Amino acid sequence: MNLAGVPQLLGTWFEFNWRPDGAIWGDVSLIRGCDQGILIWSTDGSGAWKGFTQDILANAPVGAWAEKPDGTWVLAPTEGPTADVITLNYELSAVGPQYAYIDDSHGSPVITSSNGVFGAYFDPGTI
């Protein structure tokens, strides 16, 4: 679901979808920007989890930033017309492609919950 009917760019995304058998799959994405950590986990007993809780904004390098329309500074997108290679390299080392989508070229950090339920933690970040 896109909040307000439009994609929320320059933010961390929790993406999910249900399969016809009732299971749910999901991931955390930093492709369009990063404004907070998000941790998701399966509640089916599998132990599967993805995302991160560390504050990667605090130590981001110069050149990794982008400004939201409200004036808040967050990490820049790693793909698309405003993609930033400094941000891409920083997020690959700070989070890792095994835990979140940094771009579509590294890893596939998707988990499934067979009971159709995820737990989620949203770090306060800069929302």
What DSSP letter does each residue of 55-121 carry, written as one string? --STTPPTT-EEE-TTS-EEEPPSSSTT--HHHHHHHHHHT-TTTSBSSTTS----EEETTS-EEEE
- Return the residue matching tokens 């599967």: 48
* pLDDT value, residue 125: 77
* pLDDT value, residue 1: 42
Structure tokens at 93: 């080392």
Query: Could you give the percent of the chain with pLDDT greater than 70?
Result: 97
pTM: 0.91
Structural domains present in the chain? 10-122 (2.60.110.10)
Q: What is the C-alpha to C-alpha distance for residues 94 and 101, in angstroms, rounded to an integer?
A: 12
* pLDDT value, residue 15: 95
Specify which residues 75 forms β-bridges with.
34, 65
* pLDDT value, residue 7: 72
* pLDDT value, residue 3: 62
* pLDDT value, residue 69: 86
Q: What is the C-alpha to C-alpha distance for residues 58 and 8, in angstroms, rounded to an integer?
A: 22
User: Region 62-83: what's the mean pLDDT?
Assistant: 92
